[in-house]
Amino acid sequence: MKSKTGKDRSITQKWSRQTQMVRAGTVRSDFDEMSEALILTSGFAYDSAEEAEGRFNGEREGFVYSRQTNPTVAMFEERMALIEGADVGRATATGMAAMTASLLCQLKCGDHVIGAEALFGSNRWLLDELLPRYGIETTVVKGGDLSAWQTALRPNTKVLFCETPANPTLEMVDISALADIAHAGSARLIVDNVFATPILQSPLELGADIVCYSTTKHIDGQGRCLGGIILCDSAFDEEYLYPFYRHTGVAMSPFNAWVMLKGLETLPLRVGAMCDNAEKVAAALSAIVEDVRHPSLPAFDQKELAERQMKRGGTMVVMTLTGGRDQAFAFLNALEIFDISNNLGDSRSIATHCWSTTHKALTEETRMALGITPGLIRLSIGLEDAGDLIQDLTQALKTVQNR
């Protein structure tokens, strides 16, 4: 192996996360390139029939087919595994491919799953629609209510699934307490860590068994590529995840993995600056709008938990306008910098009306119960100047004040 690459875990494990984000997982080819090589290939050629046979039966090391593993994707997986403290990472085509695979790879007919009720719309669809179709029972509970998880636990409960902070309400779940509940039964805890990012929260260190990301969000962070990743231990990977991953074809493309590797290099800088901006925006908004949510605000209802399990409050700010849908739409239409869009974690600030877009698939009743009201606006705070962002939000609020 070449010196100064990020492949050898006896070396890379000693590095701090900041160094790992830039260098871990890197393997240089014979050309000694600085930037990670983009190995855009579906397959690999073998020097001999014996070599092909050996790689297929696992006796020889090397790549076989990019549906299973690819050198560029493997660099991204190794870097993410190091950052999260996982044995293994498996990168997927989208965030939803990661969520779906993390569930389906280990579940069968007759199993039971408990999920937090406040989830990304497609995650809720997996629990409410997809799993029951295959005879897998699901229960949703209020994420912050630990006794509700405990009560819902059954002998056949195999998975507890949560997002924290949840999209879009920022409701939090106590990861270590939930891990204890899962492990007292025979269940594994899966955490969708998209909102917190690897920078602000480490679910595996808190006791979770599996952590999933949509890397489309902060990890790319520049609105270019879709992607996801599942991180877990080797035993789970060998028994459940890898067989499912290689045979169902959920893999990430090498090109997208290369973009994600570039994204990781600047992730701590971007998330740090976005958190700075989000704190400033939340403080300014809370002086003019009654209902503003961000973990840095004194009025945040789960402040103790936020401070215990996250390093900072994150890049998302949520506010609710009292004038409902009409006022929310007028506000969005008056914005000059913020884009009306549904992505998040981007370097560009984005405003989303969750009621009519990202969470529209949920029934009106469910949306209301989750606090996703017609007046709710989710703000993903980007890397622009905080003063400009506050000015934009303030002028848009002024134009709708009297509606």
What residue ranges bind ligand PLP (CB under 6 A)? 94-96, 99, 120, 123, 163, 167, 192, 194-195, 214, 216-217, 226, 228, 344
Distance set, CA 275 to CA 84, 222, 260, 387 (Å): 20, 16, 20, 14
Q: How far is the CB of 303 from ligand PLP (least distance, A)?
A: 21
Measured from the CB atom, the residue of 153 and 162 that comes closer to ligand PLP is 162
Joined together, the tokens standing for residue 230 give 């599942």
Q: Smallest gap, in angstroms, from Cβ of residue 138 to ligand PLP?
A: 17
Beta strands 88-92 and 112-116: pairing type?
Answer: unpaired
CB 14, min distance to ligand PLP, A: 32
Q: Is 43 exposed, middle or buried (0-12, 13-18, 19+ CB in 10 A)?
A: exposed
Question: 254-286 vs 71-84: helix axis angle to the nearest 10?
Answer: 40
Which residue has 């936020």 as its token pair? 306
Closer residue to ligand PLP in complex, CB, 168/254:
168
> Between the CA of residue 37 and those of 32, 73, 89, 132, what are the distances in Å?
9, 10, 19, 43
- The Cα 59–Cα 36 span in angstroms is 27
The three-state (H, E, C) secondary structure of 23-76, written as one string:
HCCCCCCCCCCCCCCCCCCCECCCCCHHHHHHHHCCCCCCCCECCCCCHHHHHH
Q: In the complex with ligand PLP, which residue's Cβ is closer, 96 or 285?
A: 96
Q: Tell me which residue has its CB nearest to ligand PLP.
A: 95
CB of 267 to ligand PLP, least distance (A): 16
| Smallest gap from residue 99 Cβ to ligand PLP (A) | 6
To the nearest whole angstrom, how small is the minimum distance from the Cβ of residue 213 to ligand PLP?
8
Nearer of residues 96 and 199 to ligand PLP, judged by Cβ: 96
Report the alpha-carbon distance of residue 360 to residue 344 in Å, rounded.
17
DSSP designation for 338 = S
Complete edge-to-edge strand list for the sheet that includes strand 316-320: 291-293, 316-320, 376-380, 350-352, 339-340
CB of 41 to ligand PLP, least distance (A): 24
Question: Positive or negative CA dihedral for 121, 127, 133, 139?
Answer: negative
- Integer Cα distance of 201 and 393 in angstroms: 28
How far apart CA 217 and CA 313 sit, in angstroms, is: 16
Measured from the CB atom, is 111 or 163 closer to ligand PLP? 163
Which of 174, 392 has the CB closer to ligand PLP?
174
Angle (nearest 5°) at CA 347 between 344 and 385: 120
Comparison of 136 and 260: residue with beta carbon closer to ligand PLP: 260
CB of 35 to ligand PLP, least distance (A): 24
Q: Which helix (H) or strand (E) holds 152?
A: helix 146-152
Instruction: Give the helix/strand (H/E) hosting 112.
Output: strand 112-116
Least distance to ligand PLP, CB of residue 319, Å: 18
Q: How far is the CB of 105 from ligand PLP (least distance, A)?
A: 17
Contact 119, 126 (CB under 8 A): no
Query: Could you tell me the smallest distance in angstroms from the CB atom of residue 83 to ligand PLP?
Result: 18
Tell me whether residue 91 or residue 396 sits nearer to ligand PLP (CB atom).
91
Q: What burial class does residue 249 get, using C-beta atoms within 10 Å of its C-beta: 0-12 exposed, 13-18 middle, 19+ buried?
A: exposed
